[in-house]
Amino acid sequence: MKTLSERLNHALQLTGVTQSELARRIGIKQQSISQICSGKSARSRYTMQIAEALRVNAHWLATGDGEIGLGVGNVEVGPDIKGRIPLINWVQAGDWTEMAEGFAFEDAEEWREV
Domain assignment present for residue 109? The answer is yes
Kindly tell me the sign of the dihedral angle through the C-alpha atoms of 56, 58, 61, 67.
negative
At residue 94, does pLDDT exceed 70?
A: no
pLDDT of residue 92: 57
Do 43 and 88 share a domain, yes or no? no
Check the CA dihedral 24-31-64-58 and report its sign.
negative
59 plus 94 within the same structural domain: no
For residue 74, pLDDT over 80 is answered with no
**Max avg pLDDT among 9-13, 41-45, 67-71, 72-76:** 9-13
**DSSP 8-class letter at 84:** E
Q: Tell whether the model's pLDDT for residue 14 goes beyond 70.
A: yes
Residue 16 lies in a domain: yes
73 belongs to a structural domain: no
More confident residue, 27 or 41: 27
Based on the structure, what is the number of domains in the chain? 2
CB 63 within 8 A of CB 49: no
Does 98 share its domain with 54? no
Q: Which residue range is the domain that position 20 belongs to?
A: 4-63
Query: Is 59 found in the same domain as 25?
Result: yes
